[in-house]
Structure 1
Amino acid sequence: MRNLSILNAALIGTSIVLIQPHITIAAISAVDINKIATAITVKIIDAENPTNSGSGVIIKQTGNTYTVLTALHVVKKGGVINTKTQTLTTPDGKSHQLKNIQQLKNKDIPGFDLATAEFSSNQQYTVAKIGNSDNAVSTTTVYVAGFPARTGTLNDSDLFLNTGIVNANGRAQREGYNLFYSNDTLRGMSGGAVLNDSGELVAIHGRVDEQGGNEKSQAKVLTGGGRFIRHCGN
């Protein structure tokens, strides 16, 4: 298997070139992971429904234009992508208008839950380092970062970063999810970064599925679009 960025084929389809050879990087501390997550993760807000927010990850800079990768369902509401009402907040607290929101498509997976968007700024922001999600095998550590949506308890919360382990990494499931992990997450963290223990981006956090066992116990299955990102645009 070629050691290219997991986003290589995906972003060629949207006229973005992001070819990055994979180089193994040593594990770093959780404190350093948190610094990376804080620098690359953005909050995405729909002005028409501010409580229904999501997250995204800065993956590329071209001049004053930055590209963000997120889950499609974060930016597509009621079957419609409305650029005019959507903004993002960067780590320095500044608000930016989203533009050029594009659904990433996979001919083999209907409803592929990934999208890119852009914003413009003359400020310098950190771009995520892309890792090889094939190496995120069962029992390896992953970190999920994102901004929980507003609730009765949480109002405009800071970034959450939760640690867990990979349960499985394999065949794509509904909407293209193929990476399953144990991290606890909250609504609003969809579209956020899934990082390995070197601080590299290996997936985009998707949804939380509740699979019922019995009335007293339920197992949470958390899914993130991982290595199947590379098949977009084929």
Structure 2
Amino acid sequence: MVDGCAAGSGMIYRRQGNTYYVLTAHHVVRNAQDTCLIITPDGIRHEANREVTVPQADVDLAVLTFTSENDYKLARWGNSDRVAVGQTVYVAGAPVATEAVPRRTVTISDGKVIGELPQPNEGYSLIYNNNTRPGMNGEPVFNDRGGVIGVHGRGDKTGRNLAIPIATFLERPQSAIAQGGQIVESPPQIQEAANLRGDFTLPALQQQGMIKRLGQGGVRQVIPLNQGGHCKWWGKFI
């Protein structure tokens, strides 16, 4: 949960040392006058660092950071390019308190993808009919395998909601905030390669004598070219 400066939701997707990175919707924290609080699943209220990073201009996403020695699970990425109309999706966030539920509580609702905007506005293009309420903006949208496929940020009284596909976040110009998370739909060796940048090696593959170096650039996708994944690998660079 995001609180203190505004009421919103988000997801922890990366850890570097004791610094955690939280992805949310930019409009949740855009006009924040006070320090934001990140409330983790164990109920601890962490003060977010004052700096807010906007990963991509004209896209309604923001990254907050906080410091903790505790271990928190990281979001796992799904493939938003494969989302189809009629697919079941889930949203998880913490609505603002009401008379019936006087304390913000994380809730999960299911729904269906009902369309896609051909021309995204501030990055929003994925349309679905899950039940959402104020305080849930910035929450993750999951596929049925638990992979994050979008960031929720808009809804109307008709029950239609909009999310920014997670590919918009992952495919932007790479930086330190890009690294992190796992590809939930890929084997472990492929997870190691996702979201990396620079001149690097894949130790798990190098030990098997298959590859020594992928080269320079950012790896967007690595897949096995046979079913066992033991012989040939293909990498897509950006």
**Structure 1 CA distance for aligned equivalents of residues 107 and 21 of structure 2:** 22
Amino-acid identity (%): 35
Confirm or deny that 1:46 pairs with 2:4: yes
1:230 Cα deviation from its structure 2 partner:
4.0
Query: What is the total number of aligned residue pairs between the two structures?
Result: 172
Q: Distance in 1 between matches of 2:61 and 2:112?
A: 22
Q: Which residue of 1 aligns with 2:79?
A: 132
Consecutive unaligned residues of structure 1, counting only runs of 5 or more, are 1-42, 211-218
Contact 1:178 1:228 in 2 (8 A): no
1:147-169 per-residue CA deviation (whole Å, 9 max, x = no partner) reads 00123333223211000111123
- State the one-letter code of the partner of 1:228: T
> Secondary structure in 1 aligned to 2:168?
helix
SS at structure 2 position matched to 1:166? strand
Using structure 1 for the length normalisation, give the TM-score: 0.68
Q: Structure 2 residue aligned with 1:186, among 130, 133, 145?
A: 133
Taking the aligned partners of 1:186 and 1:170, their CA distance within structure 2 comes to 21
1:216 corresponds to which residue?
Answer: none
SS at match of 1:205: strand
Aligned letter for 2:106?
L
Is the 2:7–2:135 contact (alpha carbons within 8 Å) kept by the matching residues of 1?
Answer: yes
Q: 1:155 aligns with which of 99, 102, 105?
A: 102
Alpha-carbon separation, structure 1, partners of 2:78 and 2:118: 19
Q: TM-score, normalised by structure 2?
A: 0.67
- Letter aligned with residue 113 of structure 1: D
Q: Identify, as 1 or 2, the structure richer in helix.
A: 1
Aligned to 2:65: 118
Q: C-alpha displacement at 1:138, in angstroms?
A: 0.7
User: Take 1:46 and 1:103, find their aligned partners in 2: how far apart are those partners?
Assistant: 20
The one-letter amino acid paired with 2:27 is H
Contact 1:102/1:116 (CA < 8 Å) preserved in 2?
Answer: yes
Distance, in Å, in 2 between the alignment partners of 1:142 and 1:135 is: 12
Query: Equivalent of 2:159, from 192, 211, 220?
Result: 220
Distance in 1 of aligned mates of 2:162 and 2:71: 31
The aligned residue for residue 57 of structure 1 is 11
Distance in 2 between residues matched to 1:55 and 1:172, nearest whole Å = 25
Structure 1 residue 85 displacement after superposition: 2.0
Report the residue type matching 1:229 in the other structure.
Answer: F
8 Å CA contact 2:130–2:160 kept in 1: the answer is no
Kindly report which structure 2 residues correspond to 1:68-217, keeping only aligned pairs within 5 A, or say none.
Answer: 68-77=22-31, 81-82=32-33, 84-99=34-49, 100-106=51-57, 110=58, 112-210=59-157
Cα distance in 2 for partners of 1:118, 1:191 equals: 15
Larger Rg: 2
